[in-house]
Amino acid sequence: MTRRPEPLARPTRDDPREAQRTAAEADEDGGDDDEEMPRISVSRRTVALGTLFVVVIIVFLAVVLPQIAGLGDTWQKVEKGDPLWLLVAALFTVASFGGYVMLFQGVYVHGDFRLTMSESYQITMAGLAATRVFAAGGAGGIALTAWALRRAGMASRSVADQTLAFLVLTYAVYAAALVLGGFGLYFGILPGSDDWAITLLPACIGLAGFVIALLLAMMPPDLVERMQGYAGRGGRVAKLVQKLALAPAVISSGIRLSAQHIRAGDPALAGSVAYWGFNIAVLWASFKAFGEAPPWAVIVMGYFVGMLANLLPLPGGVGGVDGGMIGAFVAFGGESKDTIVIAVLTYRLFAFYLPTIPGAFAYLQLRRTVARWNEERRQGLRGPRPVAAAARA
């Protein structure tokens, strides 16, 4: 593992680490360290049912969806797919998840808080599986990851701050691609369609995300502590305002932590670029397996515009992203509808549905790992939660 840079200069009162230290001290003074984080109750039976669900969805995509779309002969083209490019797509899938684990290690594992690569793999793959099964922007994966980190010994406030930093570093690449690709296509700098609905509009959404993040970062992470006196004097309304200030304060802390990672030049942050880049490469290889791929700018924009549909609360996220990507590439034009459908569904098979199976097994491994952590802690072989160290890192 790459050695992390030396700790940054002593934090000021606006530094997110100061807020983390306050939370850590509160935990040490008697906070409820054993409080369960929201988690997904998964047994071998539910894993089997989840696997069956994935198989049913694959059958639905292979048989039912083409019939609904009037593309009954589409999947017959699978036999004509280039095996070499399908193998390349599978390798890109592995590389993409490798980048995700790399980013996870870079953000969470430092200071006195340690996880092995195997443990990081279990947490990330189990979280990704939860994200697949429970859509709505990945809430299931976030809850599972937070629970695992708390069981590993990280303080609750530090879990929140580091998780927000992880999300910022992950989706900053997403937003940057929307901005650069969207404006590049709309103004003719990059080859492809200049339809404002699939270029300018997504670019403006990505730009708005950066502006909102910048505004939130300007809030002091210790805003709740600063409002303590006001809340004590102002009555019920003032206390409500103080509670409402918690969310922007935590988000500000996470954004500032992500900026510290970037300024420190942590090479592990390349994992975010690798995760998205290789994931897009899976889609490119899927197009190549059945014909010619669109220009790279179109591939990137079609991918990210389609991914916006992942926010829809559909069961397992099924159909939203698939339809969103297909619609985006049809709007961009250039390839036949049959080729677009089969390329997108092949991509989804490699990058979305099949990884759910090892992700489910990773969750079962994670349960055993958490049990081992608890047993080691009871036997004194594993120290108590290093809350102060984790918060200072």
CB 193 within 8 Å of CB 331: yes
CB 295 within 8 Å of CB 192: yes
**Cα 89 to Cα 285: distance, rounded to the nearest angstrom:** 5
Residue 7: both structure tokens together:
């700790």
* Backbone φ and ψ of 315, nearest 5°: -60, 115
pLDDT band of residue 338 (cuts 50, 70, 90) is: confident
CB count, 10 Å around CB of 287? 24
DSSP state of 3: P
CA quadruple 276, 145, 317, 308: dihedral positive or negative? Answer: negative
pLDDT band of residue 186 (cuts 50, 70, 90) is: very high
Q: So what's the pLDDT on residue 39?
A: 43
Average pLDDT, the chain: 76
**Cα 252 to Cα 217: distance, rounded to the nearest angstrom:** 4
List the domain boundaries for the chain. Answer: 42-392
Chain-centre distance for alpha carbon 22: 28
The answer on pLDDT for 24 being more than 80 is no
Q: So what's the pLDDT on residue 388?
A: 38
The answer on pLDDT for 37 being more than 50 is no
DSSP state of 64: I
Least confident of 83-97, 150-164, 226-240: 226-240
Q: Give the pLDDT mean for 210-224.
A: 79
The percent of residues in the chain predicted with pLDDT above 70, rounded, is 65
Give the list of residues 6+ apart from residue 284 with CB closer than 8 angstroms, or none: 293, 296, 299
Residue 393: both structure tokens together:
């890192």
**Cα 157 to Cα 180: distance, rounded to the nearest angstrom:** 34
The answer on pLDDT for 61 being more than 80 is no
Q: So what's the pLDDT on residue 287?
A: 93
Q: So what's the pLDDT on residue 99?
A: 94
Q: So what's the pLDDT on residue 345?
A: 86
CB 152 within 8 Å of CB 145: no
Query: pTM value?
Result: 0.75
**Cα 320 to Cα 323: distance, rounded to the nearest angstrom:** 5
**Cα 73 to Cα 289: distance, rounded to the nearest angstrom:** 17
Q: So what's the pLDDT on residue 94?
A: 95
pLDDT band of residue 382 (cuts 50, 70, 90) is: low
Higher-confidence residue of 80 and 258: namely 258
Q: So what's the pLDDT on residue 263?
A: 84
Strand, helix or coil for residue 315: strand
**For residue 113, what are the β-bridge partners?**
110
